[in-house]
Structure 1
């Protein structure tokens, strides 16, 4: 018996009856020999961590554009915080922790430069619109490994696709990631907004503080405990008063931070930058990387330009824009 088979046997004995067992995965699009050490979901975690799109997350905006301080979240640190929260919940509910982690690590791989501002800009330029969760699936299925994709399991791809809006994930592990994503970003964005001077502690709704706690740690602890203690079988739920306070905090953040003209002042420059980059590559397809030129041939130029711009980091987008549109100083 291999180490993987022993792990699969342990899963069957220890996990809840409604957990997604590695042994019963729906598999991958392209058949592969199983690893003798890792389960299929553990293998997916490793593939995501080692891919280029995951590394690029370190230079993609979470809320504040290209912050100067080292302590602000990026899309990468957000992803790691989601994974930590989701793993804790999955372990407590006896669900598949590896599947939960894999979905968490991959959920934002398709995010654009400049966070949701970049996403909104691309959404207005692409027939049918642009949604980062769909692009995340495209990254792992098509764009990574020079067009070969990561060949992840169906359960991981389903969880990535369903982590934000629309239909629910087919697994409880995927639904946990959706909740954990919200727990993570609301609380760490409060922390960053206070650090930036955009939000004062006294401005946080009194009810939310009373029910959830006055600190980031306390709030996360309350939310996780409430979810673990009130979920029954295949039903994930928080205590009603905790859910109500969390929803109030979510609405507060949208009004006071996510739409705050001070916090989001620089975002007004994003649409023009993204649009000009998009137009440039539409008019100069020969400047696209080789992989994107192949996609242009196979799926059309719009699709290729969208993939190229969406994959840029904040820094690379600005650098590319500068090299195209800003003249260099003359030197002898």
Structure 2
């Protein structure tokens, strides 16, 4: 049963609005409108052929960025419903969080970051913001989707503040600095990069972690990279496997794995709701602005569950992400991205007409970023087709 709207939830009736003024919808709240715009975007459709871990042709049952985003949205809405948050905004953030990822998963991101290193690098969160505010061309009066301030804030800050109040970068941006795409947009439309995001954004972020843990286990089992019993080295999953075996001593391996994944999702959702309840009871925020100013994440794993969850991530890193076969395929994928970037940079005429340089003179950084934007939008399949078109030999990624 859904909890009533909490005083610390984002209220669509009090949204800070949009960068470009639009008349309100007669039938939808601002946050529902945001969600619908994401779902109908070109970038969202492309997620169906963008890789999580396995390349698109390796099997119909492995996750893609699209199916992952849908699963994140389901988990995020479950959290929002129990915590009295706005489900539409939470769903918007869950569905939009991967729009900036390039083809071939983290391998593609590493390659693009290297290609763009002298021009500010590549950051998928900054690229998501570019997609939502500039690269989608669906409306006559503005570029992007013109989402609400709350949606853009949540996309950029779902993992916490990006800087101190004085602008000093935090976390992963401490050394590299806040990406130019975020800095430049923030100068036009202040997203308060120094503050925490709404609880809706925090719910979407932790839902992403839960989905990754559970569903990468599912895909790894399906691919034969490890077996259910291998997960007994992780205390949390060891206890779950023991309980499954006691309840179903003759269960086949496929159902055993599915039961583990189902149980893990339920356990992690329940633990987040419990921990969030405790933190909210201590913090007593009376508004979403008090959430932003509180100074810490309010939706999180408890320390004990965070340690257990880190054990799952360590297992997956060793047995899946660093598996010899996965590493070889991802190495070939990185080469494809590097090859494409180099060819487009050397010969702009190899780009589609709409991505070639316009009439105005263009700086080297702007040209490199334009090429990066084009590659980041590619699906795995299209990147392979482009490499076939431009090069004599293309890795098979198998």
> Which of 366, 371, 381 is equivalent to 1:305?
371
TM superposition shift of 1:219: 0.4
Is the alpha carbon distance of 1:239 and 1:170 closer, same or farther for their aligned partners in structure 2, counting shifts above 3 Å? closer
Q: Within 2, Cα distance between the matches of 1:295 and 1:219?
A: 51
TM superposition shift of 1:160: 1.5
TM-score, length-scaled by structure 1: 0.89
> Which ranges of structure 2 fall in alignment gaps of 5 or more residues?
163-194, 245-259, 281-290, 292-297, 394-398
| Counterpart residue number, 2:27 | 37
| Counterpart residue number, 1:70 | 60
Q: Does 2:193 match 1:198? A: no
| Counterpart residue number, 1:219 | 264
> Which of 144, 150, 168 is equivalent to 1:149?
144
TM superposition shift of 1:305: 0.3
The equivalences for 1:169-184 within 5 A come to 169-184=196-211
The equivalences for 1:89-128 within 5 A come to 89-126=79-116, 127-128=119-120
| Counterpart residue number, 2:75 | 85
> Which of 310, 322, 325 is equivalent to 2:388?
322
| Counterpart residue number, 2:352 | 289
> Which of 303, 326, 335 is equivalent to 1:263?
326
> Which ranges of structure 1 fall in alignment gaps of 5 or more residues?
1-12, 328-332
Moved more, 153-162 or 33-42: 153-162
TM superposition shift of 1:264: 2.7
Moved more, 70-79 or 264-273: 264-273
Q: Does 2:187 match 1:187? A: no
> Which of 19, 38, 41 is equivalent to 1:48?
38
Is the alpha carbon distance of 1:211 and 1:72 closer, same or farther for their aligned partners in structure 2, counting shifts above 3 Å? same
**Alignment RMSD (CA, Å):** 2.2
TM superposition shift of 1:246: 1.1
TM superposition shift of 1:166: 6.1
Moved more, 110-119 or 289-298: 289-298
Is the alpha carbon distance of 1:59 and 1:236 closer, same or farther for their aligned partners in structure 2, counting shifts above 3 Å? same
Is the alpha carbon distance of 1:326 and 1:165 closer, same or farther for their aligned partners in structure 2, counting shifts above 3 Å? farther
TM superposition shift of 1:296: 9.1
| Alpha carbons 1:212, 1:223 under 8 Å: kept | no
Q: Within 1, Cα distance between the matches of 2:160 and 2:322?
A: 20
Q: Does 2:264 match 1:236? A: no
How many residues end up aligned between the 2 structures?
316
Q: Within 2, Cα distance between the matches of 1:283 and 1:27?
A: 42
Is the alpha carbon distance of 1:239 and 1:271 closer, same or farther for their aligned partners in structure 2, counting shifts above 3 Å? closer
TM superposition shift of 1:164: 4.8
Is the alpha carbon distance of 1:139 and 1:326 closer, same or farther for their aligned partners in structure 2, counting shifts above 3 Å? same
> Which of 219, 226, 235 is equivalent to 1:207?
235
| Counterpart residue number, 1:4 | none
Q: Any runs of at least 4 consecutive aligned residues in structure 1 with deviations exceeding 4 A, and if so which?
A: 210-214, 294-299
| Alpha carbons 2:160, 2:197 under 8 Å: kept | no
Moved more, 226-235 or 74-83: 226-235
Is the alpha carbon distance of 1:217 and 1:99 closer, same or farther for their aligned partners in structure 2, counting shifts above 3 Å? same
| Alpha carbons 1:295, 1:303 under 8 Å: kept | no
Superimposed CA distance per residue, residues 5-46 of structure 1 (whole angstroms, 9 cap, x where no aligned partner)? xxxxxxxx9310100110111111001000011011100111
Moved more, 169-178 or 104-113: 169-178
Q: Does 2:198 match 1:132? A: no
TM superposition shift of 1:242: 2.3
| Alpha carbons 1:212, 1:222 under 8 Å: kept | no
Question: More relative contact order in 1 or in 2 (CA 8 Å, sep 6+)?
Answer: 2
